[in-house]
Amino acid sequence: MFPKSLYTLFLTLILFGCNPDREVLEPAIVLEGWIENGEHPVALLHYSMVMGEEYDSVSQLLMDKLITLGKVTVSSSNESAIMIGGFDTAYLPPYKYTTPRLVGVEGATYTIDVEYDNKTITAQTTIPAPAFFDSIRVQQSPITDSIIHVTGYVTDTDPNNENYYVLFYRYRGDKQYQHCFLGLFSDHDADENRTISMPVYRNISNSTLKLSDDNKRGRYFKPWDKIDIKLTTVDSIGYRFWSEFSAISTTSSIAFMPIYTNIHTNIEGGKGYWIGYGAKVYPLTLRRDTTIRYPH
């Protein structure tokens, strides 16, 4: 689901945030995994990158860190499957474990176990109930007709429980979703009518905002873009991961600001994340000044 993974974040920190006086730590096994309602589970495995490592090229570093022979098992209370690995360049690192024998179910709890190099790591997650947009508003910028603003609206219908949301998007035809810039929300963001306004922003590096004509739009879309917006619900662990990941990935793109903070992990015996998503996808063609309403 996520093209900019922990792997690319770790690589960015090594290339631009290196401190030669910082102690070199031992690499750990990193699991990046997720499962959502109606979809097969996905897992990516690699060793962590550490400051001070020497390598001849990025491609060599990438291949050295890959874990291609792990035994990855995902199970729920009533089914279990071993995930099969294979190269897939749509992901980074370009090796994905999955299984067609298991599909995520709302409300189910899933455990993932990884065995590799005489080590075992494990994690557990539950797929929350998905949330739904009441409407999505598409507006042309009052400043220029080449910029489109997109905002989704969700009503908190369960005030007795805290809900957490993460927004993703992709251009039609792309395989992978990207997490939206500032695309994290909770029930604390609701107004007096229990409505949560969720702006949908493109996710591009701060350092590339002025490198091309396309990037002059910055975080915004343009008229007639065809996109898919994925509204997901996560638990508090998933929300904490994305909050810390987004903060670090944004700051790491700023020159001379090295980051050493560890991202919170729910992986026992390793690092990374295993997150369940309650997901709903909304295909859109961005026509100017349009409000699309979705009856529940």
Compute the distance between CA of residue 112 and CA of residue 122 in angstroms, rounded to an integer: 6
What pLDDT is stored for residue 261 in this prediction? Answer: 54
What pLDDT is stored for residue 28 in this prediction? Answer: 87
Contact assessment for residue 79 and residue 88, using Cβ atoms and an 8 Å cutoff: no
Residues of the chain with pLDDT below 70 are 1-25, 50-62, 205-217, 249-262
160-203 confidence digits (pLDDT tens)? 889 999 999 999 999 889 999 999 999 999 999 999 999 999 98
What pLDDT is stored for residue 296 in this prediction? Answer: 76
Q: Residue 165 forms beta bridges with which residues? A: 185, 233
What pLDDT is stored for residue 281 in this prediction? Answer: 97
The model carries a pTM of: 0.85
What pLDDT is stored for residue 240 in this prediction? Answer: 94
What pLDDT is stored for residue 188 in this prediction? Answer: 93
What pLDDT is stored for residue 21 in this prediction? Answer: 46
Secondary structure of the chain as H, E, C letters: CCCCCHHHHHHHHHHHCCCCCCCCCCCCEEEEEEEEECCCCEEEEEECCCCCCCCCCHHHHHHHHECCCCEEEEECCCCEEEEEEEECCCCCCCEEEECCCCCECCCCEEEEEEEECCEEEEEEEECCCCCCCCEEEEEECCCCCCCEEEEEEEECCCCCCCCEEEEEEEECCCCCCEEEEEEEEEHHHCCCCCEEEEECCCCCCHHHCCCCCHHHHCCCECCCCEEEEEEEEECHHHHHHHHHHHHHHHHCCCCCCCCCCCCCCCCECCEEEEEEEEEEEEEEECCCCEEEECCC
What pLDDT is stored for residue 161 in this prediction? Answer: 87
Compute the distance between CA of residue 248 and CA of residue 106 in angstroms, rounded to an integer: 30
Domains defined along the chain, listed by start: 6-126+263-275 (2.60.40), 135-232+281-293 (2.60.40)
Contact assessment for residue 136 and residue 152, using Cβ atoms and an 8 Å cutoff: yes
127-159 confidence digits (pLDDT tens)? 999 999 999 999 999 888 889 999 999 999 888
103: Cα within 13 Å, side-chain hemisphere: 3
